[in-house]
Chains A and B, each alone.
Chain A
């Protein structure tokens, strides 16, 4: 048995016989007589058939995997027709090169040009060029497609997207690639299809077909010629599979404690791309949608429409489930050049988040209006970060009112969202009774609350021994916040790191927290914890 290693590009575990996909490109053959018109017509029919195959594949992909995957195929169809490919190949043939060789030469050259680009995403597109080139080559040389007839572990140097899509995915147990990248279509598709995939795997170059292979992508390992005991050990008793299956059983369930208290379990997201993970893990809503992705890594402010589009895409995808959008939280460790913020001695205690918004109303209003417009598409809530005083909330709300008026006057569709605040400073926690009277909900940001309460810089490694998230001061503040929220008839949630700390779930339930928002991959674990919790909440206000 050979134990190999690789990089996990799609998590999972599997075992089965290998089917190897060999690269079909062979060395050019020079012993034929060259006939230009014959080669040109051979190429022409290969081009037409390739287009037809891609058309069929597009339909198939659209039905099975959706628009996004189908668009890859559509893009390949366009590439195939692009003069840089098809005309370049025809030109080569006219120079006296056999059709098959012309296809390979142009394909290799274009693939190399893409691979040489600066941008990793575009580099990965050289796989698309290889893909259409191989398809053309196969058709020009009269080869058939690979058809899988039994469930198997696929092994190849690299997988090009149409190969991944052409193959009957119900027959693929797992994939081992000698090359491959995390961002390739194959990796993305493997993740979408939930097929374990190891890339950069050190698979030996020998005859592999029908040899039994176990892939343990979770541990970045594979076993070639695996014996029964290894299969049993890795697959049957795989903690990954067991846990995954176990957690999947919590999908669609309500998060209700043994004593009947319902806790809403939501996901935190940082961009519209993260929604998929939230939905996949059955989050009951988005408890924190950070809006900074719209501002970071840019050279200028995002437009109103751009912000609206991003918010609306998330709201639509969540389909009526709650989406809490946090207004801009720039400053401190998140710097953006075009904001032209002054250098500060203490950025964490400086000009950041709501403080910037209240001083730069234009910026704030653009965001608020974009959120209000997106709110018309679903269930949107909005919250302000870094509140310390009552007047800040009152002023922010006044600005919201102005936005409302301006949208009305401009006759633009919108809905007024529920407005909440993040409680992440000791000041806000201590004043939470007063603050609760101004807003519809609280969401506790435990990361900043801990940093400010304990006077510890999160990024200072020397202070790790002092940074105690379970510090009694934090827990007392958390209890106070929930109590004051309920006293004033509003709900309270936690969206900081601490929400995902399962050792505190019972404590949060006892404190009366109504919502916990965590990274998507923790949603089901937290739900399990809540369903099994015997913690009791006693409302002292009653």
Chain B
């Protein structure tokens, strides 16, 4: 299991475009991905659930990867977050 966290810096929070791109990116990996706040996580491969998290700028986002390609998935996710959110 790999866990990463990231503080959202985009003033619009996780808005529609990057949410879609992130879900798309994660869907390429076999491992399961849970994403959300420390307390409330959802399946990160499901766009509507991710959007409903309504995470805003300044919120800390947690992602938990579990499965064979978890390392690669977490690295790709972190890179995406840094350049988009």
Contact = CB atoms under 8 A, between A and B. Distances in A.
B18 to A, nearest CB: 9
Contact of A119 (B23, B47, B49, B56): B56
A71 B46 contact: no
A73 to B, nearest CB: 10
B40 interface: no
A68 interface: yes
Contact of B83 (A297, A302, A309): A309
Given A298-B9, A305-B82, A128 B16 contact: yes
A238 B58 CA distance: 44
Contacts of A119: 13, 54, 56
B61 interface: no
A266 to B, nearest CB: 24
Interface in B41-55: 46-49, 51-52, 54
Nearest to B43: A83
Given A110-B48, A114-B52, A298 B58 contact: yes
A117 B52 contact: yes
B58 to A, nearest CB: 5
A83 B27 CA distance: 14
Nearest to B50: A82
A306 interface: yes
Nearest to B55: A119
A122 B7 contact: no
A288 to B, nearest CB: 19
A79 B47 contact: yes
Contacts of A309: 82-83
Contact of B17 (A75, A83, A110, A303): A75
A83 B42 CA distance: 13
A81 B13 CA distance: 24
**Best-buried of B11, B46, B47, B60 by chain A (most CB within 10 Å):** B47
B71 interface: no
A306 B9 contact: yes
Nearest to B60: A299
Contact of B20 (A75, A113, A271): A75
A74 interface: yes
A78 B47 contact: yes
Contacts of B11: 271, 293, 297
A82 B44 CA distance: 12
A71 B48 contact: no
Given A110-B48, A117-B52, A299-B58, A72 B83 contact: no
Given A75-B19, A75-B20, A300 B52 contact: no
Contacts of B12: 121
A23 interface: no
Contact of B46 (A84, A125, A305): A84
Given A75-B47, A83-B46, A298-B7, A306 B16 contact: no
Nearest to B82: A305
**Best-buried of B7, B52, B60 by chain A (most CB within 10 Å):** B52
A117 B54 contact: yes
Contacts of B58: 297-299
Interface string A264-283: 00000001000000000000
Contacts of B47: 75, 78-79, 82
Nearest to A78: B47
A118 interface: yes
B54 A122 contact: yes
A302 B9 contact: yes
Contact of B16 (A113, A125, A302): A125
Nearest to A302: B9
A125 B83 contact: no
**Best-buried of B13, B16, B17, B21 by chain A (most CB within 10 Å):** B16
Contacts of A71: 16-17, 20-21
Contacts of B83: 305, 309
A79 B57 CA distance: 23
A128 B19 CA distance: 14
Nearest to A294: B9
Interface string B10-41: 01110111011101100000000000000000
A479 interface: no
Interface string B46-85: 1111011010111010000000000000000000001100
A271 B12 CA distance: 13
Given A79-B48, A119-B56, A72 B82 contact: no
Interface of B: 7, 9, 11-13, 15-17, 19-21, 23-24, 46-49, 51-52, 54, 56-58, 60, 82-83
Given A82-B47, A298-B9, A299-B7, 19 more contacts: A68-B17, A72-B16, A78-B20, A78-B24, A79-B47, A82-B46, A85-B48, A110-B48, A113-B52, A117-B54, A122-B15, A122-B52, A125-B51, A294-B9, A298-B7, A298-B58, A299-B58, A300-B7, A306-B9
6 contacts: A75-B47, A119-B56, A122-B54, A125-B51, A298-B58, A305-B83
